[in-house]
Amino acid sequence: MEFSNKTNYTRVEDLKRLKFIQSAILSLNNPNAKVLDVGCGNGNNSRQLASLGFDVLGIDISDKTIETARSLNTYDNLRFENVSAEDLDINDKFDAIICCEVVEHLHEPTPVIKSLKNLLKPDGILIVTVPNGYGPREVIMTKPMQALMKNKFTWNAVVGLKKLFGYTGTTIQSEAEDLMHIQFFTKKSLRRLLEKEDLKLVKFQGTNFVEAVFPYSLVANRVKPLQKLDNWMADQLPDSFSSGFMSSWKFQ
């Protein structure tokens, strides 16, 4: 199926992740698939899948981001709820579950994975994407930034500098105020988390290389060919060089 972007995404990395998700769900060959988007944020992934006719439920613990997702929704087959996966009160099970850029924010990711496993049909697919905890972006950007947060003076200086360059605290994915990364996954530790719940890896792919790393990102964010080259390079290099991981899983 030809890809048609129905989201607010413009960056090549975001679209690459979206294509991975769409492809994984289309591989089920079920036009009536029920999809759960966990940590749906502003609803970009949910809207894309709803545009294909799937029955989609997006959930998030941030009331602010759910409000945004609802305001952008134009699909009858898509709804949003302000609830966590663990507290979702529903009898139905899902053909596909998306957990996109979520578990790195959790102190204890195992209970969430257990909840998702219990919500997944026996022949369903679980899609999990995370930053590479030891990849270029987390090592060069995220971890140093979180270290600077510990000092009020230096962090205020960083915030002022970020505002000067046009950066905000939220992202196109989410309006949530707390986007702190707590877990730093390797490919091995991600596999261990999922395989412990009797899930087997179906497909694994990196996202981008260094296009989101400051100060290179100032140029790459404005030049699409650089983004495309960077994302292509991530596919050529070993997985450990990628800034993010995309994966799909099924029951063993």
Specify the CATH number for the domain of residue 71.
3.40.50.150
Looking at the domain assignment, is residue 105 inside a domain? yes
Question: What is the average pLDDT across 218-233?
Answer: 96
What is residue 174's predicted lDDT score, i.e. its pLDDT? 61
Looking at the domain assignment, is residue 5 inside a domain? no
Looking at the domain assignment, is residue 241 inside a domain? yes
Looking at the domain assignment, is residue 66 inside a domain? yes
What is residue 173's predicted lDDT score, i.e. its pLDDT? 67
Looking at the domain assignment, is residue 6 inside a domain? no
pTM of the model: 0.91
Q: Are 19 and 9 in contact (CB under 8 A)?
A: no
> Per-residue pLDDT tens for 183-215?
999 999 999 999 999 999 999 999 999 999 988
Q: Are 131 and 142 in contact (CB under 8 A)?
A: yes
Q: Are 58 and 37 in contact (CB under 8 A)?
A: yes
Q: Is the pLDDT of residue 170 over 60?
A: no
H helix runs in the chain, sequence order: 12-26, 44-50, 63-72, 109-119, 136-137, 143-148, 152-164, 187-195, 216-220, 224-236
What is residue 182's predicted lDDT score, i.e. its pLDDT? 92
Q: Is the pLDDT of residue 97 over 70?
A: yes
> Per-residue pLDDT tens for 29-79?
999 999 999 999 999 999 999 999 999 999 999 999 999 999 999 999 999
Question: What is the average pLDDT across 151-169?
Answer: 65
Q: Is the pLDDT of residue 147 over 90?
A: no
Q: Are 231 and 179 in contact (CB under 8 A)?
A: no
Tokens of 207: 């996202």
- Backbone dihedral angles phi then psi of residue 58, each to the nearest 5 degrees: -105, 130
- Number of domains, the chain: 1
% of the chain exceeding 70 in pLDDT = 90
Looking at the domain assignment, is residue 3 inside a domain? no
Q: Are 72 and 43 in contact (CB under 8 A)?
A: yes
Whole domain around residue 31: which residue ranges? 12-251
